[in-house]
Amino acid sequence: MTNAQAEIELPETVSPGEVAEAVAESLKNNQVEIIERESDPGYELIEAKSQPSLLSWGEEIYIQITPGKVEVASRSPSQIIDWGKSKQNVKQVEDTVRNHLSASGTLTPA
C-alpha cells in the first residue's frame, strides 16, 4: 500500500464549506467519484475514489477541511507501487485549494 499526504494552511476567514465546494467540483471534473461527503459547521470531510487506470487500480482520497487547514491523504490499498498516483492526487487537491484562494483574493500568488 502506498500513501501520500499534505496539510495546507487556510486563512481563518475562509469557510471550510467554500473550499469543499471547489475541491468537490475539481474532483468531479477529473472523473474522481465522491463516495461520501460530510458537512458540519466549520468541518467538511470528503471521501473519494479515483478511477482505475493503466498504472493503478484506483486510489482512496480523504480530504478534511477545518478552519485554518486542509488535510489531504491518498492511498492505493491494493498495490505496493502506485507509480506516483497518490502523490498526483494530493497535488491536484493542493493546486485546487491554492487556485481557489488566489481567485477569491485570499491568497496572493507567489
Upper half-sphere CA count for residue 61 (Cβ side, 13 Å): 33
Q: How confident is the model at residue 107, as a pLDDT?
A: 62
Q: Which residue has the higher pLDDT, 2 or 91?
A: 91
CA distances from 49 to 8, 14, 97 (A): 21, 26, 19
Q: How confident is the model at residue 1, as a pLDDT?
A: 59
Where do the domains of the chain lie? Answer: 2-101
Asked whether residue 109 carries a pLDDT value surpassing 80, the answer given is no
Q: How confident is the model at residue 108, as a pLDDT?
A: 46
Locate 27 and state its grid cell: 474532483
106, 36 contact by CB (below 8 A): no
One of 3.30.160.110, 3.40.50.300, 3.40.50.10490, 3.10.105.10 is the CATH number of 2-101, namely 3.30.160.110
Q: How far is CA 50 from the centre of its chain?
A: 11
Q: How confident is the model at residue 72, as a pLDDT?
A: 98
**CA–CA dist 46, 59 (Å, integer):** 14
Locate 101 and state its grid cell: 484562494
57, 75 contact by CB (below 8 A): no
pLDDT digits (tens, 9 = 90+) for 47-93: 999 988 877 788 999 999 999 999 999 998 878 888 889 999 999 99
Mean of the per-residue pLDDT values for the chain?
A: 90
72, 93 contact by CB (below 8 A): yes
Q: Global pTM? A: 0.88
